[in-house]
């Protein structure tokens, strides 16, 4: 169930972000920030994530996405608003397959 005051954001990360541990990096950063949601690789070579939490938690994740793990090369991060109500079933932050 989403917490009152929660927001949700969908991210798309471009660059050298597959095959470099990016999803695990995002999962760890999101869990440390206290977020729920998921992250996954897309067929076009980008990484997509959906995060639900407070504005401060979301901002912390965004900063991490812009940097990525050491082997990644983030070129750009697109962000769009999502509906936190549609994410009410998330209990943690997972790697989606």
d(CA 97, CA 88): 19
Q: Write the CATH number for 52.
A: 3.30.70.100
The structure tokens listed for 73 are 């090369």
For residue 1, pLDDT beyond 50: no
Radius of gyration of the chain (CA): 12
Average pLDDT over residues 40-69: 97
For residue 27, pLDDT beyond 90: yes
The pTM assigned to this predicted structure is 0.91
Report the catalytic residues.
Answer: 23, 41
Per the domain annotation, does 26 fall within a domain? Answer: no
What is the pLDDT confidence band of residue 88, given thresholds at 50, 70 and 90?
low
d(CA 69, CA 64): 9
Average pLDDT over residues 74-96: 85
Please, are residues 38 and 61 in contact by the beta-carbon 8 Å criterion?
no
Per the domain annotation, does 24 fall within a domain? Answer: no
Domain count, the chain: 1
Q: Provide the residue range defining the domain that includes 14.
A: 1-18+37-82
Per the domain annotation, does 93 fall within a domain? Answer: no
């Amino acid at each position: 169930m989403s917490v009152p005051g929660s927001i949700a954001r969908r991210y798309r990360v471009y660059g050298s972000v597959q095959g470099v541990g990016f999803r695990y990096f995002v999962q760890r950063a999101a869990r440390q920030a206290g977020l729920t949601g998921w992250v996954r690789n897309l067929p076009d070579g980008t990484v997509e994530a959906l995060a639900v939490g407070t504005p401060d938690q979301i901002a912390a994740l965004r900063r991490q996405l812009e940097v990525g793990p050491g082997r990644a090369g983030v070129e750009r991060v697109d962000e769009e608003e999502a509906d936190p109500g549609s994410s009410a079933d998330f209990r943690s932050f997972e790697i989606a397959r």
